Amino acid sequence: MDHYQYNGQQTPPVNRNSYGNQIWYIWGPIVVKIVIGMIVSGVASAAIGAAYMIRHYGLSAQMTDYAQQIANIYQKDYVQILKAVTKEAARLSSYVEGVAAFVTIPVLLIMFHKDRIREKLTGFTPNKKAPLWKYSAVALLSATLCVGVNNLLIIGNITTVSEEYQTVMQGFYSAPLLIQGVSLGILVPICEELVFRGLVFQRLRMRSGFLSAALYSAVIFSLLHGNMVQMIYALFLGVVYAYMYEKYGSVKAPIFAHMVANLISVFATHYNWFEWMAKNPMRIGIITVLCGTIGSSMYVWMQRIDEKPDHPNKPEQTLHQENLTSQE
């Protein structure tokens, strides 16, 4: 068993005896998210395919040769069916992402809760939690980063280069606004922040410095987005969200920040705010500079938050006994 230093105190012990355990400890949450996402996506694709077959070929499960007819149709019109299913799955991607996140969140919460129990049992004291009123800085920084970074991507003409990005965005934002808000604005941020900040970043942070843990978790977060535009955006915000977790002492900070950014993206896309800004170079330039100014101010303010624990390396029971003694 090895210990590491975190803000001047020893972290919970790390089992060096099993390399596989170490790999699973870091990658396990990501694997869980990917596997559940693949299962939900597979079920959705199967349902879409079945609906397409029934609608276009008049198939019914009550037919005696149902399976044989499906096999014959697939053999004959496989390419056409695949294109139709892929197109419909893309159109329903917001629904699928929301369901996958909804199913994954309880599993991640169990893993997250176990990590916190393990920390308490070993006497590890986490960073202090910032008061609720300081979360206004989280909202402002996240909002300005969302608008500012998106504007920079538009100014650099990067968003138009990636066809894959355009396809993904069309799928995400084709759902009704309410579905986008619930799925992309609430469920997906909770799921992703539990994985990449609450579990992956925090576990890495127990074994390394902040910068390496933040970068490593942000790179993984970025790569899983799959296209250049989202990868650039996710890499930058991933580091910022890790910093928020570090300073605020709670995964609620990056979750809240991610929600703000995604909801702004949803509404900005729905109401064509980015297109409105892009029509006038002066307008988009001024707004981007304002975002940078406000965001920088919020970052400086966050730096003043004292995140260090009051009682490093003291088990909860010891602290309770000390409090009783002081009261006497």
The predicted-structure confidence for 173-229, as pLDDT tens digits, reads as follows: 889 999 999 999 999 999 999 999 999 999 998 888 899 999 999 999 999 987 888
35 against 67, higher pLDDT: 35
Using CA atoms, how far residue 309 sits from 120, 204, 305, 320, in Å, is: 13, 19, 12, 16
Q: Give whichever of 79-93, 156-170, 273-287, 313-327 has the largest mean pLDDT.
A: 273-287
The answer to whether position 320 is within a domain reads: no
Which of 113-122, 275-284, 318-327 has the weakest average pLDDT?
A: 318-327
pLDDT of residue 54: 74
Q: Is a pLDDT exceeding 70 seen at residue 7?
A: no
Residue 67 CB partners (closer than 8 Å, separation 6+) = none
pLDDT band at 55 (very low <50, low <70, confident <90, very high): confident
Q: Does position 74 have pLDDT exceeding 70, yes or no?
A: no
Q: Which domain holds residue 244?
A: 5-303
Q: Is the pLDDT of residue 103 over 60?
A: yes
pLDDT at 328 over 60: no
Parallel, antiparallel or unpaired: strands 5-6 and 9-10: antiparallel
Confidence check: pLDDT of 8 > 50? yes
Domain-embedded: residue 314: no
**Predicted pLDDT of residue 325:** 42
Give a yes or no: residue 310 inside a domain: no
Please determine, for residue 266, whether its predicted confidence score (pLDDT) is greater than 60: yes
Looking at the domain assignment, is residue 315 inside a domain? no
Asked if the structure places residue 297 within a domain, the reply is yes
Lowest-pLDDT range, 125-129, 178-182, 259-263?
A: 125-129
- φ, ψ for residue 9, nearest 5 deg: -130, 160
How deeply is 29 buried, as exposed, middle or buried, from its count of CB atoms within 10 A (0-12, 13-18, 19+)?
buried
Compute the mean pLDDT over every residue in the chain, rounded to the nearest whole number.
Answer: 84
> In this model, does residue 61 exceed pLDDT 80?
no
Within-domain flag for 148: yes
- Whether 229 maps to a domain, the answer reads yes
* 309 within some domain: no
CA dihedral 93, 97, 99, 104 (to 10 degrees): 160
What pLDDT shows up at residue 140? 96
Number of folded domains in the chain? 1
What pLDDT is recorded for position 10? 56
Between 288 and 81, the higher pLDDT residue: 288
What is the percentage of the chain residues whose pLDDT exceeds 70?
Answer: 82
Instruction: Tell me the C-alpha distance between 6 and 137, whole Å.
Output: 25
pLDDT band for position 317 (cuts 50, 70, 90)? very low
CB 96 within 8 A of CB 44: yes
Phi, psi for residue 65 in degrees, rounded to 5:
-105, 40
More confident residue, 139 or 72: 139
Is pLDDT at 234 greater than 70 in this prediction? yes
